[in-house]
Amino acid sequence: MTYTSLEDCVKDLEKHQFLVRIKEEIDPYLEMALVHRILFLQNGPAIFYETIKGSKFPAISNIFGNYERAKFIFRSSFDKIKKLIELRANIEQFQKNPLRYISLISTLWNSLPKKGSLKSNYQEIKISELPFIVNWKKDGGPYITLPIVLSYDVEKPKILKTNLGMYRIQLAGNQYKLNEEIGLHYQIHRGIGIHHQKAIQCNKPLKVSIFVGGPPAHTLAAVMPLPEGLPEVAFAGALANRRFRYVFDQGYFISIDSDFCILGEVQNYLLPEGPFGDHLGYYSLKHNFPVLKVEKVIAKKNAIWPFTVVGRPPQEDTIFGKIIHELTQSMVPNSLPGVRKVHAVDEAGVHPLLLAIGSERYIPYIPNQKKQPMEILTQANAILGFNQLSLAKYLFIVAEDSDTPDIHNVMEFIKYTLERIDFSRDIHFLTNTTMDTLDYSGGKLNFGSKVIFSATNPKKRTLSIQNLHFDLKHTKIKHQWVYPGILALEMQAYNKEKNDIKKLIQFIEKNHTDFSTTGMIVLCNDAEFVAKNYKNFLWVTFTRSNPATDIYGPFQKFLNKHWYCENPIIIDARIKPHLAPPLEEDKKTIEKVKRFFKKGASLEKFEFFIP
């Protein structure tokens, strides 16, 4: 199936019973987002909202709400794209079996953008006519959550030199002049930043086009981590089975197939943007970001407004991650020599926790019992310098062996690492470095630290669950086991003096034999919540801690500027004053949206989203 528009996709999903319609008027303030989250959690269908309060345009969400539906949408091109990426990763495959790739000729043709002209079915509108969807109660205003943002090198205005990215767009609120200014939030390591820098150097305006809607392939292309030099518009056409159609008018590239298009120039001043409930499960706080002066807004006469909702994982963007992983997994060994697999852990917010399997080939003649991480440290540094993997905060990397667990079995993988790591040698920090813009654990926007936990066979300890008794005197302390060798320890509220941590370390050192089978202790505000399931553990541990300031261990020392300790490693994942507040559901809105569900329908599963 080839979609020429978002409307085509809607009709196809409805035909195959993958879509439900809400005919009753719905409020874009909190209600639409909450209905979306409930249906996503229940593995429900895509949702078409026919009547939205305050807007004449209908909307759709949860298009990519489960993996099977996403694969269904791209069913006519998915395998071809996998083959194309596989071929790019290893051109020798073509020489071995050229017939396997003969079907890619049409895919390569579709990757070439096609210049056309705007049809008469477009109308000019204002920003205020768009659905003003607010996802979370403390959001700074309505946002575009599935924008396709096109920018280009001001000295090379060519369609194959453009960049498509997905950066949240604040439509109103704060200090923005309604219908004249919107917020353009782009983070570090984004292609638009290169174009912005070039425009500043050349003293030229940076003209940006924001597309909303169009064939679903265009949306996926905007989040695809493509190598530099490979344009997203080419990928969009190949995945859509239809060439990317565009016009270039008055310095703006316009997607002919998009439902909406906002054209504007990036200004030479910043304005506060946010807060925004983000994909880590917290609010991104209000900060100054670039402003787009709106020149024109156009929409198809039958335009449909697509949106998504982000928040604590899993959410719809989790499916994006799965699709991207399946498409690009063949690129890993080629892009990162020696690295076998990588897995960005969605439950931890993607960037905070990365797992990797590498290989040890430097000195093969060393007996297995004397091996230590060597080549995998080189590979770890390559990973932390590659594309968006460079945003990883915690990296667990092990050498591939016969007993290496499945990298997607996250808890077993962490346990495997902790059982083989030499705590006096194999923990490596990178301090005062750039971090994901959404991660506030470092106490400063875009800055923080990283840590590498590296391990090889042989196994050095066996982790298990054992009875422990803590007596720290006048310190409230409860504990629950999360997993064998991994303990959640409930402590008093965080304080800068860290006297409670000092007492804990002294206690562990005094009773160290009791902790011989413990690999990690996580300090938290609620041990029962952290230990309830592995998702809670991953979310709390790796989003609320900054390695350089929040990792400790018994018998910790420095040798030649290298920090080391003995087991167990201690991670302070308590809530701290500089952290952003977590997202919480609005109970009044929960009551309001019950009218959209069958009488007696249970929303019990939804409690997962109320931390």
Q: Which two tokens stand for residue 24?
A: 């009753």
Place of tokens 């782009």: 186
Q: What is the pLDDT of residue 609?
A: 41
Q: What is the pLDDT of residue 113?
A: 95
Q: Where in the chain is the domain with CATH 2.30.110.10?
A: 6-307
Residue 306's nearest CA partner among 12, 3, 46 is 46
Q: How far apart are CA 431 and CA 449, in angstroms?
A: 4
The pLDDT confidence band at residue 435, using thresholds 50, 70 and 90, is confident
Q: What is the pLDDT of residue 361?
A: 84
| Whether residue 522 has pLDDT greater than 80 | yes
Q: Which residues contact 70 (CB under 8 A, 6 or more apart)?
A: 64, 319, 322, 323
Q: What is the number of other CB atoms lying within 10 angstroms of the CB of residue 384? A: 18
Average pLDDT of span 551-574: 96
Q: Which residue has the higher pLDDT, 332 or 218?
A: 218
| Whether residue 610 has pLDDT greater than 50 | no
Q: Which residues contact 554 (CB under 8 A, 6 or more apart)?
A: 505, 508, 509, 512, 515, 565, 566, 567, 568
| Whether residue 276 has pLDDT greater than 50 | yes
The pLDDT confidence band at residue 89, using thresholds 50, 70 and 90, is low
Please state at what angle helix 78-89 crosses helix 316-328, rounded to 10 degrees.
50
Q: How distant is the alpha carbon of residue 129 from its chain centre?
A: 30
| Whether residue 603 has pLDDT greater than 80 | no
**Rounded percentage of the chain residues whose pLDDT exceeds 70:** 94
Q: How far apart are CA 167 and CA 148, in angstroms?
A: 8
Average pLDDT of span 186-212: 87
Report which listed range, 220-234, 395-409, 587-601, is most confident.
395-409
| Whether residue 102 has pLDDT greater than 80 | no
String of DSSP letters for 449-516? EEEEEEE-SSP-------------SS---EEEEEETTEEEEE-SPP-TT-HHHHHHHHHHHHTGGGGT
CATH homologous superfamily of domain 6-307? Electron Transport, Fmn-binding Protein; Chain A (2.30.110.10)
152, β-bridge pairs: 162
Encode pLDDT of 294-310 as tens digits: 999 999 989 999 999 99
| Whether residue 611 has pLDDT greater than 90 | no
| Whether residue 189 has pLDDT greater than 80 | no
Q: How far apart are CA 44 and CA 66, in angstroms?
A: 8
Q: What is the number of other CB atoms lying within 10 angstroms of the CB of residue 537? A: 26
Average pLDDT of span 211-228: 91
| Whether residue 219 has pLDDT greater than 70 | yes
Q: Which two tokens stand for residue 460?
A: 């050095």
Residue 270's nearest CA partner among 342, 186, 387, 335 is 186
Q: What is the pLDDT of residue 330?
A: 79
Q: What is the pTM of this model?
A: 0.91
Q: How far apart are CA 502 and CA 207, in angstroms?
A: 54
Q: How far apart are CA 68 and CA 216, in angstroms?
A: 15
Q: Which residues contact 442 (CB under 8 A, 6 or more apart)?
A: 435, 448, 449, 546, 549
Average pLDDT of span 333-359: 92
CB burial of 424-458 (b: ≥16 within 10 Å; e: otherwise) equals: bebbbebeebebbbbbbbbeebeebbbbbbbbbbe
The pLDDT confidence band at residue 191, using thresholds 50, 70 and 90, is confident
Q: Which two tokens stand for residue 322?
A: 């799965």
Q: Which two tokens stand for residue 569?
A: 């490693």
Q: What is the pLDDT of residue 195?
A: 87
Residue 427's nearest CA partner among 573, 522, 566 is 566
Q: Which of 323-327, 414-418, 456-460 has the lowest mean pLDDT?
A: 323-327
Average pLDDT of span 419-437: 93
Q: Which of 17-31, 269-283, 318-332 has the lowest mean pLDDT?
A: 318-332
Degrees to nearest 5, angle at CA 129 with 171 and 219: 60
Q: What is the pLDDT of residue 505?
A: 95
Q: What is the pLDDT of residue 600?
A: 55
The pLDDT confidence band at residue 363, using thresholds 50, 70 and 90, is confident
Q: What is the pLDDT of residue 475?
A: 60
What's the residue count for the chain?
Answer: 611
Residue 393's nearest CA partner among 362, 455, 438 is 438
| Whether residue 128 has pLDDT greater than 90 | yes
Residue 187 to residues 190, 288, 438, 591: CA-CA distances in angstroms? 6, 12, 8, 36
Q: Are strands 181-184 and 305-307 parallel, antiparallel or unpaired?
A: unpaired
Q: Where in the chain is the domain with CATH 3.40.1670.10?
A: 316-455
Residue 160 to residues 108, 131, 202, 566: CA-CA distances in angstroms? 14, 32, 21, 53
**Rounded percentage of the chain residues whose pLDDT exceeds 90:** 72
Whether domain 316-455 has CATH 3.40.1670.10: the reply is yes
Encode pLDDT of 466-498 as tens digits: 888 787 665 667 899 999 999 999 998 998 888
What is the pLDDT of the chain when averaged over all its residues?
A: 91
Listed in sequence order, the DSSP H helices in 406-456 are 410-420
The DSSP letter of residue 159 is G
Q: What is the pLDDT of residue 93?
A: 64
Encode pLDDT of 247-267 as tens digits: 999 999 999 999 999 999 999
Q: How far apart are CA 95 and CA 98, in angstroms?
A: 6
